Amino acid sequence: MEYKKFFLENDLPNCEVAVILGSGLGDVVQKYDVSKRIYYKDVENMPNKAVRGHKNAFAFAKVGNKNVVFMEGRIHAYKNYSGKELVVPYEFLHELGVKSAFCINATASLNTKIKVGDCVLIDDHINFAPNPLVTLDSEKEMFVDMCNAYDFEHIKTMKEIAKANNIKLYQGVYGNFSGPSYETPAEIKMAQKLGCTVVGMSGAIETLLLRYLGIKVTMLSVIANYGAGMINGTINHSDVLSAVKSQSDKIALLVQNFLSKI
């Protein structure tokens, strides 16, 4: 899809960095002076089935000396989208000039030492969901190397930022289930045995599509709950949104510092 005409008509700036925000993280954008907002529904071929807690828009802001585009809400495979549809927002970013994406999402912790509100820097993933590259219908190279899926240098930078700001930052592996139902206790036990630190419904899918386009990925998971069966009680989306929203100030601080250093 060619968006150059759309960019010109809407006077959109070139952006080298994108920040992709998930459930409950809309307040992070409010820390910045947004110069323009483009809703997904107004972009040709852009999937826009809403998930509660997502604004579904591209917000453009100046952060320091950088033009940054924020994705306020991501497109989820569990909305029955093919890879060809799922890749559209990332193609939009790629055509804007984005070289690096800072992806932030809500996840469940599989370790009782990593508590609700903590942040986990993702250094690898295990994908239990269908690979979106299978249904891309593209002539572009599909055999994507995943050895450095989560950029080593950016991981190092994030750890330095967290240490300098006295923010506890864990590091680990993202387990991607397809959703939209939450995982069963048995699935959580399996993921723990396989080495997953957190589980969610989007992280690996997003990384596969971004790396397919050659965009560097840095991923931060905010713990919204524990995996099913780890503690008493049930899991619901409202609690997830509330838990993540309460961490907006900490996330904004990490975003600000990260953008100033890359």
Could you give the C-alpha distances from 155 to 25, 203, 214, in angstroms and in order? 21, 16, 17
Return the percentage of the chain with pLDDT > 90, whole number. Answer: 66
If pLDDT is split at 50, 70 and 90, which confidence band does 252 have?
A: confident
Output the pLDDT for position 236: 72
* Section 169-175 average pLDDT: 97
Q: Tell me the two tokens of residue 144.
A: 């994507």
4-261 belongs to CATH 3.40.50.1580: yes
Could you give the C-alpha distances from 34 to 68, 73, 157, 187, in angstroms and in order? 10, 16, 26, 41
Burial class (CB in 10 A: 0-12, 13-18, 19+), 123: middle
List pLDDT tens digits, range 201-229.
999 999 999 999 999 999 999 999 999 99
* Section 145-152 average pLDDT: 96
List pLDDT tens digits, range 41-87.
999 888 877 666 567 899 999 988 899 999 998 888 988 899 999 99
Is residue 159's pLDDT more than 90? yes
C-alpha 243/C-alpha 222 separation (Å) is 9
C-alpha 228/C-alpha 243 separation (Å) is 16
Reported residue count of the chain is 262
If pLDDT is split at 50, 70 and 90, which confidence band does 31 have?
A: confident
C-alpha 100/C-alpha 35 separation (Å) is 21
**Kindly report the CA angle at 93 between 89 and 95, in degrees rounded to 5?**
115
3-state secondary structure of 59: strand
Whole-number average pLDDT of the chain: 91
C-alpha 18/C-alpha 234 separation (Å) is 34
Q: Checking DSSP bridges between strand 100-109 and strand 17-21, what pairing results, if any?
A: parallel
Output the pLDDT for position 139: 75
Is residue 89's pLDDT more than 70? yes
C-alpha 253/C-alpha 165 separation (Å) is 9
Higher pLDDT, 136 or 236: 136
List pLDDT tens digits, range 94-143.
999 999 999 999 999 999 999 999 999 999 999 999 999 999 877 778 89
Other CB atoms within a 10 A radius of the CB of residue 143 amount to 6
Q: Look up the pTM and report it.
A: 0.92
Output the pLDDT for position 53: 56
3-state secondary structure of 159: helix
